[in-house]
């Protein structure tokens, strides 16, 4: 009996702790007051404490209420619920908190469709996924797919397939989305031109380096050999002379012979190029090595006729595998050049040109003595018995020796010494000049699906620093490609 009474007492206490008594009523006549003032007035009438976060009711709009002997529970509901607030009653205290938002279950929709190519052929295995979400599916053998989506406002479907361009489609409310994928026309594999054929780079096992035209610095003053310097690993380019128009020595595979020729083979559009020698190449072998190098330096290289602006790509074959194509002459390496060809489209005309000016050296840029200072140094050295470097039979030293040997008189010695002190010759002005170079290139390209054409003309003039070291060069190139049908065979 005692345990039953105790249980009933605890139950009543818990019940009163979680709910208002119907006897708790309030009478309020408030107009446009804050929630804080409203709660304070209720507390004064009922003696019930209110617990809440001040920031929670700070921005709530003001309220108005006019009631007479109304239950507190109903009054709080009318005031707090519309403001997004709720309350609980615990042990004589009303705790006010923010009402929990009712989370709506997202509506799931199904999107179906067919993925095909431009020829209306269904594509199997196409990946279909939601953009930004790690969720997706793939098409079946008939090109069909089914995708479940929830966020219909920001849903973007991404379709991707090997060899096809990736396509994104935004969901617009339609349950069926059919997609057509186009082939990816981008070049996915680099190719290598060996002279007689074009191979994929990944299927080529030899040592090959490829340089594109846009990677070369062609400023008009450099030759093609100089432009290649530093672009090919292991290839050396050495200048043999500072004269304009002379060739550079190129070593692709080092100096593989001491007696023969170590120059690489040049190939332009499948045609092997030879040095423009005025006699047979075999006759050159009868001359000593120094004379051979001198002749080759001034005659020019095998591709000196080629306009560098007409180059499309350069492929360097560096290993022994190239001998299978070109024979033993390729033991020193092969440099294959592919020139620009016409492209399908309207005729286009291009022009490129540049100017280069290099000022000559002057005595003002060098810390050198003038004639009087040089004579003073020679006079002091002669008086001290010192020997200066150089030929002692010229200048002040030779003049002093002639006077000492009584070959000339004192007056002659003094007059000649005065001439030496005033004899300042600007040899840089006499022998050199400001180097000036300019070149101009005009290209015409175009064609149709049946025939394409490309023509170019170049003019280059180089005036080097040394007077008389000049070069004028004209270049021209015409390339026509045509596709003929059976009547042309």
- Closest residue by Cα to residue 305 from 87, 173, 456: 456
Is there a single domain that holds both residue 34 and residue 137? no
Name the 3-class secondary structure at 427.
helix
Q: Tell me: the pLDDT tens digits for 84-141?
A: 788 887 767 888 888 765 445 556 788 999 999 988 899 998 999 888 777 788 899 8
The two three-digit tokens of residue 64, written as one number: 């108005």
User: How many CA atoms within 13 Å lie on the side-chain side of 141?
Assistant: 0
Q: Which helix (H) or strand (E) holds 112?
A: strand 109-117
Name the 3-class secondary structure at 198.
strand
Is there a single domain that holds both residue 333 and residue 380? no
Is there a single domain that holds both residue 399 and residue 437? no
| pTM score above 0.75 | no
- Closest residue by Cα to residue 300 from 224, 342, 245, 236: 245
Q: Tell me: the pLDDT tens digits for 349-392?
A: 989 888 888 888 888 888 788 888 878 888 887 788 776 666 66
Looking at every residue in the chain, the average pLDDT score rounds to: 76
Domain range for residue 413? 363-425
Residue 213 within a domain: yes
Is there a single domain that holds both residue 209 and residue 335? yes
Is there a single domain that holds both residue 195 and residue 332? yes
Model confidence band, residue 200 (pLDDT cutoffs 50, 70, 90): low
The single residue listed with the structure tokens 């030293």 is 397
Q: What is the CATH number of the domain that holds 238?
A: 2.170.130.10
Say which residue, 446 or 238, is predicted with more confidence.
Answer: 446
Residue 6 within a domain: no
Is there a single domain that holds both residue 212 and residue 268? yes
Residue 4 within a domain: no
Model confidence band, residue 304 (pLDDT cutoffs 50, 70, 90): confident
Is there a single domain that holds both residue 330 and residue 244? yes
Is there a single domain that holds both residue 238 and residue 316? yes
The single residue listed with the structure tokens 């070149």 is 439
Q: In total, how many domains does the chain have?
A: 5
Name the 3-class secondary structure at 186.
coil
All residues at 6 or more sequence positions from 77 whose CB lies less than 8 Å from its CB, including other chains: none
Q: What is the CATH number of the domain that holds 84?
A: 3.55.50.30
DSSP secondary structure code for residue 432 in this structure = B
The two three-digit tokens of residue 399, written as one number: 């003049």
pLDDT of residue 291: 61
Could you give the CA distance from residue 307 to residue 312 in angstroms, rounded to a whole number? Answer: 11
294: region left, alpha or beta (phi > 0 left; psi from -120 to 50 alpha): alpha
pLDDT of residue 178: 93
Could you give the CA distance from residue 218 to residue 299 in angstroms, rounded to a whole number? Answer: 22
User: How many CA atoms within 13 Å lie on the side-chain side of 482?
Assistant: 5
Cβ–Cβ < 8 Å for 211, 202: no
Is there a single domain that holds both residue 407 and residue 325? no
């Amino acid at each position: 009996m005692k345990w039953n009474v105790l249980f009933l007492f605890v139950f009543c206490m818990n019940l009163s702790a979680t709910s208002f008594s119907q006897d708790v009523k309030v009478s309020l006549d408030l107009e446009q007051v804050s929630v804080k003032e409203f709660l304070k007035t209720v507390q004064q009438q009922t003696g019930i404490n209110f617990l809440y976060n001040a920031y929670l009711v700070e921005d709530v709009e003001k309220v108005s209420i006019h009631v007479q002997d109304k239950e507190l529970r109903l009054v709080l509901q009318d005031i707090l619920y519309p403001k997004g607030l709720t309350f609980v009653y615990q042990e004589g205290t009303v705790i006010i908190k923010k009402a929990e938002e009712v989370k709506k279950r997202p509506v799931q929709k199904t999107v179906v469709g067919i993925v095909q190519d431009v020829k209306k052929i269904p594509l199997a295995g196409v990946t279909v996924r939601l953009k930004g979400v790690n969720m997706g599916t793939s098409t079946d053998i008939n090109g069909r797919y089914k995708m479940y989506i929830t966020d219909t406002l920001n849903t973007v479907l991404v379709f991707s397939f090997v060899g096809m361009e990736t396509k994104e489609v935004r969901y617009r409310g339609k349950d069926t989305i059919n997609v057509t994928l186009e082939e990816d026309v981008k070049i996915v594999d680099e190719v290598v031109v060996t002279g007689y054929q074009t191979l994929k780079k990944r299927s080529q096992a030899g040592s090959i380096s490829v340089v594109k035209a846009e990677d070369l610095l062609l400023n008009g003053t450099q030759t093609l050999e100089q432009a290649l310097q530093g672009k090919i690993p292991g290839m050396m380019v050495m200048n043999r002379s500072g004269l304009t128009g002379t060739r550079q020595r190129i070593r692709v595979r080092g100096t593989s012979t001491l007696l023969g020729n170590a120059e690489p083979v040049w190939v332009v559009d499948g045609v092997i190029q030879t040095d423009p020698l005025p006699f047979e190449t075999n006759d050159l072998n009868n001359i000593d090595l120094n004379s051979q190098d001198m002749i080759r330096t001034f005659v020019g290289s095998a591709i000196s006729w080629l306009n560098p602006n007409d180059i499309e790509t350069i492929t360097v074959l560096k290993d022994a595998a190239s001998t299978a194509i070109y024979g033993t002459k390729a033991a020193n390496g092969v440099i294959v050049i592919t020139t620009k060809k016409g492209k399908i489209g309207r005729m286009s005309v291009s022009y490129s040109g540049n100017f280069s000016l290099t000022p000559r050296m002057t005595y003002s840029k060098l810390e050198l003595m003038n004639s009087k200072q040089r004579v003073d140094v020679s006079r002091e050295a002669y008086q001290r018995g010192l020997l200066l470097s150089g030929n002692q039979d010229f200048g002040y030293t030779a003049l002093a020796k002639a006077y000492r040997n009584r070959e000339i008189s004192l007056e002659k010695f003094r007059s000649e010494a005065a001439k030496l002190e005033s004899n300042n010759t600007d040899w840089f002005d006499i022998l050199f000049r400001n180097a000036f170079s300019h070149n101009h290139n005009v290209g015409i390209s175009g064609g149709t699906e049946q025939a394409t054409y490309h023509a170019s003309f170049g003019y280059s003039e180089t005036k080097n620093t040394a007077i008389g070291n000049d070069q004028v060069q004209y270049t021209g190139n015409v390339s026509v490609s045509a596709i003929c049908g059976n009547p042309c065979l």
